[in-house]
Amino acid sequence: MTQADTPFPAMIVEETADGRFTRRIGTKTVSELPDGEVLIKVHYSSLNYKDALSATGNRGVTRRFPHTPGIDAAGEVARSSSNDFQVGDAVLVTGYDLGMNTSGGFGRYIRVPAAWVVPMPGGLTFQQSMVFGTAGFTAGLSILKLEQAGILPGDGEILVTGASGGVGSLAVAILAGSGYSVVAASGKPQARELLTTLGAKEVLDRAAVTDPKNKPLLPGRFTGVIDTVGGDILSFAIRSTRYGGTVTCCGNAASAELHITVYPFILRGISLIGIDSAECPMKTRRAVWNRLAADWKIAHMKRICAEIELAELDQRIAAILEGRLTGRCVVRLP
Ligand code: NDP
């Protein structure tokens, strides 16, 4: 049984007296963790854009410091006061408040409400579940919304923006593996080969998915869009979607602004669907994870993912903030 004074390694982000933020790998004890029904010994976490914001003091993500980021965690139950989980169960947690104002997966232990915990679906190892993590879950949720809108393989081209990023690369791989015709848009020429390997039939340069003239409608090409970047690229995507098509929107890596007229909606019947992975209801959450472990499991996990230790996180955080990271990065806890 894990004791309250059990020490464990964790990334600790602190605010200095002059308002700067520093991060180091230090030691915490289980008693420092917030209350919760389930104590989890974390085996793997993963790096997402939100973690980098938390690790650099973004108050929109994390209000209180010192703090341990990590919005994703996979591991085994170390202690439980919930009838739903027993010691030794393999589980994962993504989203809710984990890693925001609740000590997160960049530490060996987390303690969370039972309502946040997902039983590990059969078919996924701890490591594989974190190759997906919040990014894969968000890609899966976006694809589920396209399916629910009636868009099926063979119906036409699906555009994925920010395609070399975590959500984008997993969306490309899952869609292509499911038989969809995928067009990837990326700002990284060096990611072209990876995206083609993942199954994109065409890779567009970022410049090709913007429209300097800002016309209300562009030639309708895409049946569906998974947008991860927002801003002018999301605007382009909506205006380039065919009659009756569906666009999902999950991110703001380019911009949180969206300048658009109503014409794509009232002349082409386009639907714009917002994606939120953090508070997604448990029924949908489990359904998406079960798909990720089954028909959405991807063939190229090793190609898409780097595995690092806590001490290597620092440089990866800088890289993801600068848009330099390709694919996914899982973190192995010692
Ligand atoms: P990554 O940083 O891994 O990927 C983002 C990608 O966006 C980059 O790789 C790059 O792809 C592209 N990009 C970066 N900067 C710019 C820019 N200035 N202009 C245009 N494109 C840019 O992040 P994730 O994939 O983890 O997340 C993507 C977005 O989705 C983030 O905004 C994140 O906060 C959000 N998100 C939202 C969730 C939700 O629940 N709504 C859940 C998970 C993520 P390329 O070079 O290939 O163009």
Task: In whole angstroms, give the CA distance from residue 209 to residue 204.
Answer: 7
Q: How far is the CA of 30 from the centre of ligand 1 (A)?
A: 33
Determine the residue of 45, 46, 47, 49 to mutate for testing ligand 1's pocket, defined as the one with the most ligand atoms within 8 A of the Cβ atom: 49
- What band does 334 get if pLDDT is binned at 50, 70 and 90? confident
What tens digit of pLDDT does each residue of 147-174 get? 999 999 999 999 999 999 999 999 999 9
Domain range 135-274, CATH architecture: 3-Layer(aba) Sandwich (3.40)
Closest ligand 1 atom to the C-alpha of 138?
42
pLDDT higher than threshold 80 for residue 206:
yes
Q: How far is the CA of 107 from the centre of ligand 1 (A)?
A: 24
Q: Whose CA is nearest to atom 14 of ligand 1?
A: 323
Residue with tokens 């992975």: 277
Q: How far is the CA of 167 from the centre of ligand 1 (A)?
A: 7
Average pLDDT over residues 138-144: 98
pLDDT for the residue 218: 98
By CB atoms closer than 10 A (0-12, 13-18, 19+), residue 102 is buried
Average pLDDT over residues 289-308: 94
Phi and psi at residue 128, to the nearest 5°? -60, -40
pLDDT for the residue 4: 80
Q: DSSP string spanning 237-294?
A: HHHTEEEEEEEEE---SSBS-----SHHHHHH--EEEE--SSS--HHHHHHHHHHHTT
Apex 170 CA angle, 63 and 297, nearest 5: 115
Q: 300 versus 68: which is more confidently predicted? A: 68
Q: How far is the CA of 5 from the centre of ligand 1 (A)?
A: 38
Determine the residue of 46, 47, 48 to mutate for testing ligand 1's pocket, defined as the one with the most ligand atoms within 8 A of the Cβ atom: 48
Q: How far is the CA of 2 from the centre of ligand 1 (A)?
A: 37
Q: Is 33 left (phi over 0), alpha (psi -120 to 50) or beta?
A: beta
% of the chain surpassing 90 pLDDT: 93
Give the ipTM of the model, two decimals please: 0.99
Residues of the chain with CATH 3.40.50.720: 135-274
Closest ligand 1 atom to the C-alpha of 206?
48
CA distances from 155 to 109, 219, 226, 284, 323 (A): 45, 17, 15, 24, 32
- What band does 1 get if pLDDT is binned at 50, 70 and 90? low
Residues of the chain with CATH 3.90.180.10: 7-120+301-332
Closest ligand 1 atom to the C-alpha of 280?
40
Q: How far is the CA of 196 from the centre of ligand 1 (A)?
A: 19
Task: In whole angstroms, give the CA distance from residue 120 to residue 192.
Answer: 33
pLDDT higher than threshold 90 for residue 2:
no
pLDDT higher than threshold 80 for residue 95:
yes
Q: How far is the CA of 132 from the centre of ligand 1 (A)?
A: 15
Q: What is the mean pLDDT of the chain?
A: 96
Determine the residue of 50, 250, 317 to mutate for testing ligand 1's pocket, defined as the one with the most ligand atoms within 8 A of the Cβ atom: 250
What residues flank ligand 1, with Cβ below 6 Å? 48-50, 134-135, 138, 162-168, 186-188, 191, 206, 228-229, 233, 250-254, 275-278, 320, 323, 325
Average pLDDT over residues 121-132: 97
Closest ligand 1 atom to the C-alpha of 275?
41
pLDDT for the residue 213: 86
Select 7-120+301-332's CATH number: 3.40.630.10, 3.40.50.720, 3.90.180.10, 3.30.43.10: 3.90.180.10
Strand bridging mode 90-94 / 109-112: unpaired
